[in-house]
Amino acid sequence: MDRVSYFTMAIYFKTGVLKYLYFIIIISLYVLIISANLLLIVIICVNRSLHEPMYMFLCSLFVNELYGSTGLFPFLLVQILSDIHTVSVHFCFLQLFCVQSYVCTEFSNLAIMSYDRYLAICYPLQYNTRMTFTKVVVLIAAAWLYSFLIIVTMISLNAPLQLCGNIINKVYCDNYSIIKLACSDTSVNNIYGLMAAFLTVFGPSILILYTYIRILRVCFSGSKETRQKAVSTCTPHLVTLLNYSFGVCFEVIQKRFNMSSVPNMFYIFLSLYFLTCPPLFNPVIYGLKMSKINIICKSLFITFCCKVQIIQKV
């Protein structure tokens, strides 16, 4: 990349001693995300009763939440405490890879989960033969490899661009901000960007829409028990999908429209929503709504409280 060896993150502003308060808030949020997602990953891996396709896909979703959060929060913490908000080009591209592949993998995981629920509700008697362990592993691996391939191609197209500036008006590095700095031809990058958006967002969204149309048809024509099963298994997925989609919509809006009149803190919140709120709320949503996970979490909590009481008595 010609003439540019680092980027300046211009969105950060001087906060004085308040930076320590922001640091405590951000690190607390990060610890909560790590703890909640890691707890559910361990619960799913350790309990053999949860070694079912639905929970394996959930495990992949929680791993992706950890991956996306780790691509953002350590960098955010360093920048909050630092007085010089610069980042090397190589690290910027590394963060771009982590954030963009997180987005792609999240949509892919949600699409696979909707397909799994579609088979479970529409073909209950054939579910075990259609959703085998091998197929589960292949779908999860495909979701991750598919995302990595799309983003690696994107970065390989961005790397040769000649840049005429190094100011990024974001709290993290993203593809659109780097392309805006280019003074060389970006037509190929823009075309591929549209293709990548279709492959990562609209493609999975079409699959999710199709599966839910089929699920609704079965629910309306099926028994009350079928409708109850559909509601109990699909509600957490729908809440997760809507929460994440809102975050991505916020990100698209703040890229495409002039946000200069928006307060700085609110602008930062909108740009971070899809990287912070889904990883924080998804474990809570599934922990409360999925009965098996809920029961195991309660038993662990009761066991922990009993042990604490025994230790206090001793």
Over the stretch 65-112, which tens digit does the pLDDT of each residue have?
999 999 999 998 888 888 788 888 889 899 999 999 999 999 999 999
Interatomic CA distance for residues 197 and 104, integer angstroms: 9
Task: Check: CB of residue 16 under 8 Å from CB of residue 269.
Answer: no
Name the superfamily (CATH) of residues 6-289: Rhodopsin 7-helix transmembrane proteins (1.20.1070.10)
- DSSP 8-state symbol, 24: H
- pLDDT value of position 304: 61
- pLDDT value of position 49: 82
CA nearest neighbour of 275 among 250, 300, 294: 250
Q: Please state the pTM of the whole predicted model.
A: 0.87
Secondary structure (3-state) at 218: helix
Task: Check: CB of residue 44 under 8 Å from CB of residue 50.
Answer: yes
Here the tokens at position 42 are 């361990």
Backbone angles phi, psi at 83, to 5 degrees: -95, -15
Provide the H-helix boundaries in 7-126. Answer: 18-46, 53-81, 89-122
Task: Check: CB of residue 179 under 8 Å from CB of residue 158.
Answer: yes
pLDDT surpassing 90 at residue 174? no
> Which has more pLDDT, 2 or 143?
143
Residues 210-240: pLDDT tens digits? 998 888 888 777 677 777 777 777 888 888 8
- pLDDT value of position 138: 95
Here the tokens at position 241 are 């999908």
- pLDDT value of position 311: 64
